[in-house]
Structure 1
């Protein structure tokens, strides 16, 4: 049975932000199935670079490269490293950057990847594949642990903290206690093992959402350092975008969206500046982005009906100013 096609979320709105033009250079920082890349390439005679950490993306990218010869290239890596990756291929400035976060439909629909709690598979969840080519935390030379590694070795308090912080699961302590108790008898190796335990501990939810949802989300975010990737990716986009370049970011849950909102709000404000009649001080910060719309853009009812995974999506857009990228302390450099 063939899998349903991947449907890019808020595609028309992303294109309206990016505004592809002939001769432009664009970056699809989270390639996935290539929906945004293909749409940008169709919209103008432009060049698109794409980034993906998942080795399974290569086959889809090769197909796209054949359809758009000389105009499309995939670079393997993490989108948080986009500035270094683009520098490595000789690209200094980009006219537009598109990003959508989280797990892709292809990963969810592949039980062997271990992302889905609905189908049995190895408890893996590494977006870089079983080789673990994506590091967790600050040490880029370490191999990422799988979800099974985390579940079977982390202490009870650490597990509870992970499940609460990244899954916002209110029963995180009970789940962590049950995991530590059960793993003494049988280590967790399969997705159905963990999903069954969580369902047993949490019980049926009033909202109808599978009880395992938040725990699986938490482990996936932790294993892949997804929030850290977002922080690094936003900084990378700030470096790469030329003045007037556009940024379109699609988030799928509050943890992601909050990160983007906070970054763009800080980068588009003049916080720290004195009166415009007073001399600028070293602590003053000029905006590096201009918000194209205050607040997030949400999918309409028709799109949600076509693609249920779009329901939680939030798009935030901004335009790069002429101000140099900010230093780590937030001041322009």
Structure 2
């Protein structure tokens, strides 16, 4: 199925943990479901197959390319927005309570494979990395304007880059007289400070920049907080993460309703209302069979919680 056809194209993005997601959502045929990260529509197709004529599926995607994959199905509503605006748009479309929410936080294969988007180290192209091309800030802007300290923190936290301090200092020293407009320019600039496997190193640097450009952590926090508000009691919340920072946020929120690790101090007040209970004690990972078919699923972790 091609992505141009208006059908949900498998060529656009292979959905990870497909069966595990559908099982975790425990879909009710007449329910209302939200796919916060529509992409190629693989997970959405599975949800639709389990809905009857009264069921509804609201799909969000800030990337305009994803709209090509929306099926001609009156049960589907496409919202071309970042999922951090979840509650606002559900309210707008008169769906204030839903039975299930899915968010697959991975960048789609399509985005990695489109050189001009600037997400991949494999191609040359503009150093862009915007998921939503309506926004102004690009990766070039981040590299040119952030202080050395801010860049150090960014690469350390979001990319887990081993020599993040050296990297930040090098960028600040070089950015005045070396062009930063393209991926090739940036990779050439980084060559003197690359440590270990160059492909892995560059992937970590690019990941950190992408997270910053799109404020992915801020958007995730917003979506989780709003998601619990719109879920009906018994409704399921399924989130697929791809690195430890995301997974930690989801784990903490599902377990205790906050984003920070719990303090074990017995003298501190602990009374609070927890609105979710984890369905998965540990994150669900891809099977050996899936890993063979789709190596990109290796770092995927699925957590599911239920609204109490």
* TM-score using structure 1 length: 0.82
Match of 1:48 in 2: 57
CA shift, 1:4, in A, is: 4.4
Can you list the C-alpha shifts for 1:156-181, whole angstroms capped at 9, x where unaligned?
Answer: 22212211121111211221222222
Match of 1:116 among 120, 131, 155: 120
Match of 2:254 among 244, 256, 264: 264
Give the Cα–Cα distance (whole angstroms) in 2 for the partners of residues 315 and 10 of structure 1: 8
Match of 2:211 in 1: 221
CA shift, 1:182, in A, is: 2.2
Give the Cα–Cα distance (whole angstroms) in 1 for the partners of residues 248 and 270 of structure 2: 25
- Cα RMSD for the two superposed structures: 2.1
Q: How many residues align structurally? A: 290
Give the Cα–Cα distance (whole angstroms) in 2 for the partners of residues 166 and 113 of structure 1: 20
CA shift, 1:283, in A, is: 6.9
CA shift, 1:44, in A, is: 2.4
* TM-score using structure 2 length: 0.89
State how 1:255-294 maps to structure 2 within 5 Å.
255-267=245-257, 284-294=271-281
Q: 2:179 touches 2:185 (CA, 8 Å); kept in 1?
A: no
CA shift, 1:152, in A, is: 1.6
Match of 1:302 in 2: 289
Give the Cα–Cα distance (whole angstroms) in 1 for the partners of residues 226 and 106 of structure 2: 18
CA shift, 1:81, in A, is: 1.5
CA shift, 1:195, in A, is: 2.5
Give the Cα–Cα distance (whole angstroms) in 2 for the partners of residues 54 and 4 of structure 1: 16
CA shift, 1:153, in A, is: 2.1
SS state of the match for residue 243, structure 1? strand
Give the Cα–Cα distance (whole angstroms) in 1 for the partners of residues 95 and 247 of structure 2: 28
Q: 1:121 touches 1:190 (CA, 8 Å); kept in 2?
A: yes
Give the Cα–Cα distance (whole angstroms) in 1 for the partners of residues 75 and 192 of structure 2: 51
Match of 1:158 among 150, 153, 157: 150
Match of 2:43 in 1: 36
Gaps of 5+ in 1: 133-142, 273-281, 322-333
Q: 1:51 touches 1:78 (CA, 8 Å); kept in 2?
A: yes
Gaps of 5+ in 2: 4-9, 264-268
Q: 2:236 touches 2:306 (CA, 8 Å); kept in 1?
A: yes
Match of 2:166 among 166, 174, 187: 174
Runs of 4+ in 1 over 4 A off after TM superposition: 2-5
Pick closer, same or farther for the CA change 1:209–1:183 going to 2, 3 Å: closer
CA shift, 1:243, in A, is: 0.5
Pick closer, same or farther for the CA change 1:233–1:151 going to 2, 3 Å: same
